Amino acid sequence: GDSVTQMEGPVTLSEEAFLTINCTYTATGYPSLFWYVQYPGEGLQLLLKATKADDKGSNKGFEATYRKETTSFHLEKGSVQVSDSAVYFCALSAATGGYNKLIFGAGTRLAVHP
């Protein structure tokens, strides 16, 4: 079945460091791909999305490119801030589910220190 695999956390970085969080997926057809962020005590917020191969989603300095050949959607940011500390979830919306549900990875916790 459809699935999402994320790198395990926690990821601990110093402020202004470069961030990569790996995400790979398994799905039939052509899923849409998402990154959600969950700050402490809050619900999930959509960070960025890509709906077809080679699309690049971007928001708040974060970027991810839909790579069909490697079935990946890695999240990157050139210079992290303390305020980026949160849990990041990669997700897909698949044709097999009629695009009616999201399948999430387990999440990657990011801790950024001053």
Partner 1 sequence: DTGVSQDPRHKITKRGQNVTFRCDPISEHNRLYWYRQTLGQGPEFLTYFQNEAQLEKSRLLSDRFSAERPKGSFSTLEIQRTEQGDSAMYLCASSPEAGSYGYTFGSGTRLTVV
Which residues of the shown chain bind partner 1 in the complex (CB under 8 A)? 4, 32, 34, 36, 41-46, 49, 51, 89, 91, 93-94, 97-107
What's the maximum distance between 2 C-alpha atoms anywhere in the chain? 44
Residue (of 70, 73, 62, 75) closest to 33 by Cα position: 73
We find the least distance from the C-beta atom of residue 113 to partner 1, in angstroms, to be: 22
Residue (of 110, 97, 86) closest to 8 by Cα position: 110
Closest to partner 1 by CB, 3 or 79: 3
- The answer to whether the CB of 22 falls within 8 A of the CB of 7 is yes
Closest to partner 1 by CB, 19 or 31: 31
Closest to partner 1 by CB, 17 or 44: 44
We find the least distance from the C-beta atom of residue 15 to partner 1, in angstroms, to be: 26
